[in-house]
Amino acid sequence: MKKSVIVYAMLLVSIAAASPVFAAVSPLERLLAGNRRFVAGTLAGRGTGGKRRMELAKGRRPFAIVLACSDCRVPPEMIFDQGIGGLFVIRDAGNVADPVVIGSIEYAVEHLHVPLLVVLGHSGCGAVKTTLEARRRPAGNVGSITDKILPAVVEARKSRKKDILNEAVQDNVKNTCSEIVRRSGIIRKLVAEGKFGIVAAEYYTDTGKVEPVVSGPRVPPKK
């Protein structure tokens, strides 16, 4: 993927993050506050009982979309300490974006009016590692996943960073954000208008922390 496309997408994300959508207690801050509770082991423990189920049977209004990896160590509702009904979750190996994923995001935006998307990669991602170590395109449909991740691996190798796997994980998250903006006119318009935000982030499986992914060198989270 061209660097100019990535820069364009991340610029739109920055514009959206500064918009009125993120005023007061923003969706992003709600997620990060939940992650702080998760890390501290002080989970709120709400939103999973019968009363909540009855409320949701009448309708739902999730406040954020999370596109995450299917890895069993990365359950978004737990990582962000949210009960049922709070998040619109989409998961696939490598948190990549294909037409079904992008269509799902568009549905959440248009029909449920969700104002924020978090594309969540994670440390030690198996899908990224498989792409990094592959000598040829994997057989079967797994190849469709590695095809999406391969541009991030190529960029990570060029960087010559010591932790090439994590560099590829972060490049892959940024590429996914870029592809979503590039391939969806609906999302691109709302982001440009400051009505929808996209945040690239990484979950660290050892600390439990979620950290934003930004352009430039990686800054490891404090343990």
For the ranges 24-38, 69-83, 133-147, 181-195, the lowest mean pLDDT is seen at: 24-38
**Residue 223: pLDDT over 60:** no
The whole-number pLDDT of residue 83 equals 84
The whole-number pLDDT of residue 46 equals 64
Segment 118-142, tens digit of pLDDT: 999 999 999 999 999 999 999 999 9
Long-range contacts for 104-108 (Cβ within 8 Å, ≥24 apart)?
105/65, 105/67, 105/180, 105/184, 105/187, 106/184, 106/186, 106/187, 108/62, 108/65
In the beta sheet, which residues pair with residue 89?
A: 66
**Residue 60: pLDDT over 80:** no
Provide the sign of the torsion angle of the four alpha carbons 160, 183, 76, 126, taken in this order. negative
**Residue 12: pLDDT over 60:** no
Q: Averaged over 143-166, what is the pLDDT?
A: 93
For the ranges 52-66, 114-128, 195-209, the lowest mean pLDDT is seen at: 52-66
- pLDDT class of 161 with cuts at 50, 70, 90: confident
3-212: CATH number: 3.40.1050.10
The whole-number pLDDT of residue 41 equals 94
pTM: 0.84
- pLDDT class of 84 with cuts at 50, 70, 90: confident
- What is the chain's mean pLDDT, rounded? 85
Q: Averaged over 175-197, what is the pLDDT?
A: 95
Residue type, 128: V
Strands 87-92 and 197-203: unpaired
